[in-house]
């Protein structure tokens, strides 16, 4: 995407000038002069090395007292933050220029992707099959690499929005000056705001930090993503009916580890996870309530001018007892405006849910439903009734003004907002199972069993539809905590909904029995098992995590052992017959170097896909990517395209860690762009579902395999065979 960068340079210069004024006025001319001397000096050194000048600059830095040095460092940090904001806005301007000109849009846009697929021979029927297979799920995680406070993120958002206003070419000189003054004031406040947290955050703080992105950007961005997809369908497949010829499924989902990742974190208890789910639910319910209020201002139809559908009328009549409570202070309100009456009742019911969550979160007990929706399907049904009724009297087009978007939101976020994954280390489950076996007189000594015997005994216990009779008083604190997590899962599925949880991730999965152990422990909470009459049920999805190079090489024996247990296969079928496998990028990279890690991960995915096909199981790859390149990070679109041919198959899940969250999702425009780039990467990588895939050339495979071997050998020369490297590493 080539463009003249004069506009960007001008904006960065403006931000730098405004920051310079703030630094001079708040900290003094000497600080600003020092910053300018260093800035100009190092720019000159980049153009041409000068050892004398470099020495002088380093001496200047060394001579600064602590307060001045702090101000200088903060000035540079703030400058680059502002430059990033300018660049983010500039990138959006360029994309909008393509849209305004009606040109083919940028690489990774829906427009470019669908036109490419059409050129490759993907017809409407094949594209529909491809769309139906898609499931795209970014998973937000808390990570120490993101230290910014929500206050700073909000300040950055305000700066971005003010900068966007400067893009208006019709501004008068006075208007432009007013915006620049507002920018300067925001920079001044940012200058006097702590950038990072002073105290270590609690888990609940991390949960609220994650909710910021949903509230401030994603609730607005998600509908825009789907609008752009439909517009691109009109362009690429207009000759066969465009978007109206397709059924566009809601294939975007969100996940979270924040409040669920207990691996190595003793502060993530069952109660903390319970609160995380309630905070998530309250956030999305508040958004729905706000949108219902907006709809109430639009659907002001009079009962004397339209006749609502019989189904809607019956629903409104059935709501009468709740309506009396909803309009207790004004019984006749909206009595002649049926849609506003219904929307008011719906808002009241959501309000009751929010009040219940508030009470539970503050420890005041459970007041019960009191008219609230028991599950998300009932709320979705009420929205459908309104849409159907509007269509019955010729107003189907009015659903485009908010109602369709509302249903899209419900399909994406439900009452849970994001599927919460749980993670625990495998030894915790092994310890708990061994203790349970010791307390059951009819079970063997679990610690003494080999892997084959463990699989047999756990499979038999799951098959026979019962668990040993045990008393919690006999259990250790650690085992009670482990079992409490599964009990909490069962409770929260009933309270918020079956979509509340994503996967139960087992870190350090070394054996197939590690997965069966979790299934066995979950059976105590009724999450899985076998009822009389051969009725298998399973409400938990278990995901083994393979992290190190050695772990990745053991995937095949682990999965073969697991799929060889008939009880597990039956439980898997009962939960949708999809086996999710998580791949660790950061640990494998630290273990064997970037090249060996990437190639081992590549081969591992091929192994997983091959085994899934052999055992007639669907598979989902869960990519545990970090933010930096060294932790498996990089552009999402290209990363998805880099997966082995035929292994993605429309379904992908990946972590978004640390600073990646603020970089991708702090602003609406960028969030739309990033989600689109990921979703189009998934479309392209899944094209094997519609057209024949080209396998990797054998000579390429051999070459990369040799590079990976040499890369790991070189890496281990450094880490394992270089004297004192580890001492140096920790000191650095």
Name the residues annotated as catalytic: 143, 590
Q: Residue 469 class from Cβ within 10 Å (0-12 exposed, 13-18 middle, 19+ buried)?
A: exposed
Matching residue, tokens 């401030």: 216
Using alpha carbons only, what angle is made at residue 599 by residues 598 and 602, rounded to the nearest 5 degrees? 90
Q: Residue 723 class from Cβ within 10 Å (0-12 exposed, 13-18 middle, 19+ buried)?
A: exposed
Distance separating alpha carbons of residues 704 and 599, to the nearest angstrom: 7
H helical segments located in 144-191: 150-165, 173-191
CA distances from 462 to 32, 247, 284, 519 (A): 70, 40, 37, 8
Kind plus residue range of the DSSP H or E element containing 68? helix 66-101
Token duo for residue 630: 């060294």
- How many whole angstroms from its chain centre is CA 80? 26
> Who contacts 661 (Cβ-Cβ below 8 Å, separation ≥6)?
140, 146, 210, 213
Kind plus residue range of the DSSP H or E element containing 544? strand 541-546
Q: Where are the beta strands (DSSP E) in 86-160?
A: 135-141
**DSSP 8-state class, residue 200:** P
Q: Provide φ and ψ at 546, rounded to 5°.
A: -110, 120
- Long-range pairs of 374-377 with CB within 8 A, sequence gap ≥ 24: 375/415, 375/497, 376/410, 376/414, 376/415, 376/497, 376/499
| Three-state SS at 450 | coil
For 218-253, the DSSP string reads IHHHHHHHHHHHHHHHHHHSGGGTGGGGS-----B-
Token duo for residue 693: 């895939």
């Amino acid at each position: 995407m080539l463009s003249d960068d004069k506009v960007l340079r001008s904006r960065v210069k403006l931000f730098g000038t405004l920051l310079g004024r703030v630094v001079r006025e708040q900290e003094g001319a000497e600080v600003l002069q020092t910053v300018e001397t260093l800035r100009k000096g190092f720019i000159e050194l980049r153009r041409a090395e000068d050892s004398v000048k470099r020495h002088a600059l380093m001496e200047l830095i060394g001579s600064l007292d602590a307060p001045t040095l702090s101000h200088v460092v903060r000035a540079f940090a703030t400058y680059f933050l502002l430059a990033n904001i300018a660049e983010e806005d500039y990138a959006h301007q360029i994309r909008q220029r393509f849209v305004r000109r009606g040109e083919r849009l940028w690489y990774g846009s829906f427009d470019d992707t669908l036109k490419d697929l059409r050129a490759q021979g993907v017809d409407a029927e094949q594209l529909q099959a491809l769309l139906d297979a898609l499931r795209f799920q970014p998973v937000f995680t808390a990570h120490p690499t993101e230290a910014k406070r929500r206050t700073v993120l909000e300040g950055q958002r305000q700066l971005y929005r003010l900068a966007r206003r400067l893009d208006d070419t019709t501004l008068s000189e006075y208007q432009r000056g007013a915006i620049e003054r507002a920018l300067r004031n925001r920079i001044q406040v940012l200058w006097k705001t702590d950038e990072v947290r002073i105290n270590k955050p609690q888990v609940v703080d991390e949960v609220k930090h994650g909710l910021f992105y949903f509230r401030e950007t994603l609730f607005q961005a998600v509908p825009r993503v789907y609008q752009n997809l439909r517009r691109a369908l009109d362009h690429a497949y207009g000759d066969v009916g465009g978007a109206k010829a397709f059924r566009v499924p809601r294939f975007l989902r969100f996940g979270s580890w924040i409040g669920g990742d207990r691996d190595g974190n003793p502060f993530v208890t069952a109660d903390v996870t319970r609160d995380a789910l309630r905070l998530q639910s309250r956030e999305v319910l508040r958004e729905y309530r706000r949108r219902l209020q907006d709809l109430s201002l639009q659907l002001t139809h009079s009962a004397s001018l339209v006749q609502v559908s019989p189904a809607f009328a019956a629903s409104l009549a059935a709501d009468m007892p709740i309506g009396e409570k909803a309009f207790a202070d004004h019984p006749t309100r909206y009595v002649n405006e049926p849609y506003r009456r219904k929307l008011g009742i719906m808002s009241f019911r959501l309000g009751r849910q929010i009040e219940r969550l508030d009470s539970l979160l503050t420890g005041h007990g459970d007041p019960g439903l009191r008219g609230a929706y028991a599950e998300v399907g009932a709320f979705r049904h009420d929205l459908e009734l309104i849409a159907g009724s509007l269509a019955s009297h010729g107003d189907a087009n009015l659903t485009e003004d908010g109602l369709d978007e509302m249903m899209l939101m419900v399909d994406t976020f439900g009452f849970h907002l994001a599927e919460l994954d749980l993670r625990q280390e495998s030894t915790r489950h092994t310890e708990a199972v061994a203790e349970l076996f010791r307390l059951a007189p009819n079970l063997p000594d679990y610690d003494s069993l080999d892997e084959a015997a463990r699989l047999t005994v756990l499979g038999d216990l799951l098959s026979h539809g019962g668990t040993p009779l045990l008393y919690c008083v006999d259990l250790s604190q650690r085992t009670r905590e482990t079992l409490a997590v599964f009990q909490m899962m069962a409770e929260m599925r009933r309270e918020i909904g079956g979509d509340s949880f994503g996967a139960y991730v087992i870190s350090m999965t070394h054996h197939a029995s590690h997965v069966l152990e979790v299934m066995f422990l979950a059976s105590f909470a009724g999450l899985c098992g076998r009822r009389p009459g051969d009725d298998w049920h399973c409400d938990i999805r278990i995901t083994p995590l393979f992290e190190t190079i050695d772990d990745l090489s053991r995937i095949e024996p682990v999965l073969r052992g697991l799929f060889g247990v008939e009880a597990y296969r039956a439980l898997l079928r009962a939960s949708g017959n999809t086996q999710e496998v998580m791949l660790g990028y950061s640990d494998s990279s630290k273990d064997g170097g970037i090249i060996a890690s990437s190639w081992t991960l590549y081969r591992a995915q091929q192994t997983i896909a091959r085994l899934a096909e052999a055992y007639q199981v669907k598979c989902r790859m869960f990519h545990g990517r970090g933010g930096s390149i060294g932790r498996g990070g990089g552009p999402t679109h290209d990363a998805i395209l880099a997966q082995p041919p035929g292994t993605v198959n429309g379904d992908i899940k990946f972590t978004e860690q640390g600073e990646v969250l603020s970089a991708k999702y702090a602003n609406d425009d960028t969030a739309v762009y990033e989600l689109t780039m990921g979703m189009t990467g998934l479309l392209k990588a899944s094209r094997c579902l519609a057209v024949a895939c080209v396998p990797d050339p054998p000579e390429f495979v051999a070459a990369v395999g040799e590079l990976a071997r040499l890369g790991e050998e070189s890496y281990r020369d450094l880490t394992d065979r270089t004297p004192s490297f580890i001492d140096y590493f920790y000191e650095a």
